[in-house]
Amino acid sequence: MATLQPAYQLLSDFISSKLPQGTCRPLKLIFEWPDESFLVFNLIMQSTYLDWFSASFSESFYGLKRVNVTSAAERLTTKAKILSLIGLVGAPYLMIKFKSIVDNYMFNSLTEGRDSTGTNLLRSYKIITSVLRLVKLYHYVSYLSGRGSQHSIFHRLAGVQLVHQNQPPPSWADILTLIKLEPNRSKLLAPLAFKIVSQLFELGAFSLQFINWWNNMDSEMFKFNKNPIPEPIDSIKTLDNVCPICRNSWKVEVVLSTSGIVYCYSCIIKVLNETGRCPVTGLPFSMNDLVRLYPAAC
């Protein structure tokens, strides 16, 4: 799932930049809040696969499933499902939001002076990520050496371990054979719906990973969410050292990498939170497109 999140972010940024003004507000929110919309998508997909296959999406793809360690029940217990969803969906989302908060605080500290909160958050983030990596490494080594039955801390907390599936999911050939042999068509609805939904999830995941691969190609011409080159600005007349938004001298200068326009940091942050588009060129931008300028060092 590590490649699905950035690919979904790219797709959301692209669609959000193409949505016309006046688009339905709920539809815009889906793409303006990509982390939260991906959280919902991931939650639905993982819970569906846990119910149907007793496995996550990626585990099912490789013919694996989760079994209870402390229970003889054939299907996953409710507790195991909930803890599995926390590890598959909740924990990655919280780490992404934590990293985003740390990045914002650190950017503010670079532009508005050092902030103890930002420094403490960065220190906490480094400690947490270091501990998680050590725990992951310990479980990997323990699993490979045969001393442990779980290769992940989240599997241990959920009380599950991975085994190979005894019976693979039905293929389309199996479905077609069942259609020919089964006279009662109503009995075909469940396996047919099961197959269609699982195929849609797999197709969606493949498409997102393809988008991520395409966007990571070295050639700039293949970038999926590449912004067009801004047209020459003739209609806006500004004086030197003046922000196009407040029309005052720059305070904490930042330049938009998508348009090349210099703004006050406080002015452009307000625009980012309101519209997410450059006030001069209309091109979409994000926090990552803000570049701090240091005129005194030039």
Structure tokens at 53: 């296959």
Per-residue pLDDT at 131: 93
Q: At what angle do helices 116-144 and 91-112 cross, to 10 degrees?
A: 150
Residue with tokens 């085994």: 163
Q: What is the third-level CATH fold of 227-298? A: Herpes Virus-1 (3.30.40)
Structure tokens at 273: 């939170």
Judged by phi (left if over 0) then psi (alpha if -120 to 50, else beta), residue 247 lies in left
Residue with tokens 């959301």: 12
- What are the beta bridge partners of residue 256? 290
Sequential DSSP letters for 213-265: HHHTSS-GGG-TTPPPPPPP--S----TTB-TTT-SB-SSEEEETTT--EEEH
Domains of the chain, by residue range, sit at: 4-221, 227-298
Q: Is the pTM of this model over 0.75?
A: no
Query: Using CA atoms, how far apart are residues 141 and 135, in angstroms rounded to an integer?
Result: 10
- What's the rounded mean pLDDT across residues 247-266? 85
- Whether 140 and 150 have beta carbons less than 8 Å apart is answered as no
Confidence of residue 298 (pLDDT cuts 50, 70, 90): very low
Confidence of residue 219 (pLDDT cuts 50, 70, 90): very low
- What are the beta bridge partners of residue 67? 161
pLDDT averaged over the chain?
76
Q: Nearest to residue 164, comparing CAs of 2, 78, 51, 54?
A: 54
- Whether 271 and 290 have beta carbons less than 8 Å apart is answered as no
Residue 146 is given by DSSP the state T
Going by C-beta distance under 8 Å and a sequence separation of 6 or more, which residues neighbour residue 123? none
- Averaging pLDDT over each range in 43-47, 208-212, 249-253, which range is the top one? 43-47
- Whether 136 and 150 have beta carbons less than 8 Å apart is answered as no
